Chains A and B, each alone.
Chain A
């Protein structure tokens, strides 16, 4: 039995053969980054490798001095005898699954991924492999997403209704990925759109990648007040405190997240508009993605790993938990997990 190509370490997933890490949480010499969310792209590494469309995002996160290399989807690079290639994961712009090939053995680490359509990034691409490391944020059969087009229509309807009632629409959405996905999906002709600066900081990166986004003004206290009753204001949940300084007049509160499927999450947040829109795969998505890899072995991490692994075993796959000591924190892009504010 040969040593596993990828093994968990306190710093993150480690490839010994190529001497590099995947999404390490503590400083290392060489890191392959699946996508630019802050719980995957940590600062302080010696050299970064990520998918070409994600370079600008990483640059924005890590500053001008970080050494970042981009790799086009599907092309490969050799690293200590390990062939690395990156393949679209459909999670956010520049998100990638990492394919590693070493002495004929192929491993794929999914990173975060979704199968639903998203106008702001390349769609998920199944990659055949021997071992598949999958995330499992929403790995329970209760989690099944409505079609994204339907959700976009719901957001439009909510905004239109609020406007008719003279009420501002405050929508919580994570600043990278979710917010841009919403902006690219909704109908910008309904009224003025304002976005928190932390959302707008990634606009150039999307422009570079050729993703068309509607014109949006930065949300400041003055603009929010001026557009009161008409505007759609996008705010990341982490910046909820900044609402204290704004005066949007009467406002309806919405949130776009996979957790919005649950009544308890909507109630706890006091969300009048709860939109089930996730950048993670739902239960059917996980199952079909795993099946499409044809993997002999599935390692499950990050979220509902235990039930997913057990389900895979019971349905005839070789699956087990992958204990990651550094643990990817799912809370970052999914703002309101149940049982936790």
Chain B
């Protein structure tokens, strides 16, 4: 129990950062299998259904501790965590007992659900008398279903891979299978069995680099394959041994979130691995990746409404064909096989009909017509002038730019292989005012974390976006000093600063979002630079942004709007 509590505390402090992996690794290496199995269960975010409501728990605690309600309320306001407040308010344990984590779950937590309300109270209070401090806090969290570990699935997979010596892919694959929080099941998870090793394995992703030189530096256009770059989630679609798996570059195995893609992949033959991009696609338009990310978050998952928004898989490469690794074949050959594989699936027309270079808006290419797995067609460019035209037109098609891949290149994840380039993401920039900074402590040093930026609305500043700053040493120091000397108010770690500093904020797109005070959400906001000479009064207004949004919705040119300007970072 203490061991697991210590793990939770350390994960809390690591805040999901890179340290988490080592912390998890230590825990899983040392913990007995019984405990580790349950730890894994809870860390993966699974939980038995919520047994005791927070209100009932509070009532029992008040009854046990004997404090008046107002004092409990005051205490809660000071502590800030209901489970912790109750744990601290209860008297010291009268019959301390050193519970093993798995025993507590088996003997106390699991029987609780089926027990009568009177027995539930009895067991809960009995457990309080046996536990102290962190274990008591954990118990309160577990029985109210409020235990939320600060760790990602990916980190757990990596840690288990470290402990077992198995490839992460295999661990992730086994976690997909039905497994129970039992020692036997846990041992099987980490056991060296070769049967499933290859079935789930993705290939290391080959990454494109941002092109900073002019496109002409790449030589002849005839050597290159030009494609749209979509705002989506990079993934390999793996079809082996009768199963379809989606391996996300960032998250690992994530098949269950995209059942429509897995279903569609069933039409492919066994021994096929595609590389591509998952893109949200609705009414003929690609959606910003943030919508897809929202679909992948826990809430939607619990409600089982996984098909909104619909996803398409834009395949741009073929890595395995008929069970053979074909990464050594040139790109041109891989793509022609890929095209021949995907055409029979019957992808809807429109999206890949690039004869007119840019598909008209509203054209039917809804993912519901035909397979959601689509072939990323090559864009016809005779010269670098054509390429530049595609780059500047990317935004209008909903793409975020183009990629250029050498036709004779092999698929190689090595860093030396600079044969894939990403190009020319156009974005919008506006001037915003720094409104607040969150202070963070890093190894005892104070600093500032995400910053809040605002725009004007009727003479007031309303927060628009939160973003981190990447400044050089000198600018960072100057900013920290400004924040220290110009804090006008504090809310916990949040410092409101005198609104005088102007920054240039870039974003991919603007959406209306009624849940926010400004009514707008900027997609992927990031700070381009600190505009030291600009005056805060001249920063962007909410009205300008609203006009910009209206203009975009009506499909008219966005340059006419005085607020956001379209900016091409590089060509």
Binding site for B on A (CB under 8 A): 140-144, 170, 172, 235, 240-241, 243-244, 251, 253, 261-264, 266-272, 304, 306-307, 310-311, 314, 338-341
B164 is an interface residue with CB less than 8 A from chain A: no
Residues of B at under 8 Å CB distance from A? 9-10, 12-13, 15, 65, 67-68, 70-71, 74-75, 78-81, 84-85, 88-89, 92, 137, 439, 441-446, 490, 492-493
Check B79 against A338 for contact (C-beta < 8 Å): yes
Alpha-carbon gap, A310 to B442, bound state (A): 40
- How many Å lie between the Cα of A244 and that of B74 in the bound state? 38
Cross-chain contact A272 with B444 (CB below 8 angstroms): no
> Do the beta carbons of A304 and B78 come within 8 Å of each other?
yes
Shortest distance between the CB of A330 and any CB in chain B (Å): 13
Query: Could you give 17 example pairs across A and B, Cβ below 8 Å?
Result: A140-B78, A141-B65, A141-B88, A142-B75, A142-B89, A241-B446, A262-B79, A262-B80, A262-B84, A263-B9, A263-B84, A264-B79, A264-B80, A270-B444, A272-B13, A306-B74, A339-B492
Which A residues lie within 8 Å of B445 (CB)? 240-241, 243-244
B163, chain A: closest CB distance, angstroms = 19
New A-B contacts (12) at CB < 8 Å, excluding given A140-B74, A241-B446: A141-B71, A142-B85, A142-B88, A142-B89, A240-B446, A268-B441, A270-B13, A307-B74, A311-B71, A338-B78, A339-B492, A341-B493
Quote the shortest CB–CB distance from A264 to chain B (angstroms): 5
Q: Which of chain A's residues has its CB closest to B8's CB? A: A263
User: With contacts A304-B74, A339-B492 known, is A251 near B79, CB below 8 A?
Assistant: no
Which residues of A have CB within 8 Å of B80?
262, 264, 338-339
A268 pairs with B70, CB closer than 8 A: no
| Nearest A residue (CB) for B70 | A310
Question: Are A269 and B441 interface neighbours, CB within 8 A?
Answer: yes
B490 touches A314 (CB 8 A): no
The residue of chain B having its C-beta at the shortest distance from the C-beta of A271 within the complex is: B13
**From A267, which residue of chain B is reached at the shortest CB distance?**
B12
Q: Is the CB of A266 within 8 A of B492?
A: no
A311 to B10, CA, bound (A): 36
A58 to chain B, nearest CB (A): 30
A340-B13 CB under 8 A given contacts A172-B444, A241-B445 = no
Q: How far is the CA of A202 from the CA of B429 in the complex (A)?
A: 55
List of B residues within 8 angstroms of A140 by Cβ: 71, 74-75, 78
- Verify A341–B78 contact, CB threshold 8 A: no
Tell me whether A264 and B81 are in contact in the complex, defined as CB-CB below 8 angstroms, given that A141-B67, A244-B445 are known contacts. yes
Per the bound structure, the CA–CA distance linking A266 and B80 in Å amounts to 13
User: Are A266 and B13 in contact, with the CB atoms below 8 A?
Assistant: yes
In the complex formed, the residue of B with least CB distance to A307 is B74
Query: Chain A residues with Cβ under 8 A from B492's Cβ?
Result: 339-341
- Taken together as a complex, chains A and B put the C-alpha atoms of A307 and B78 apart, in Å, by 11
Q: Is the CB of A270 within 8 A of B74?
A: no
* A141-B75, A268-B493, A307-B74 as given contacts; A341 in contact with B441, CB under 8 Å: yes
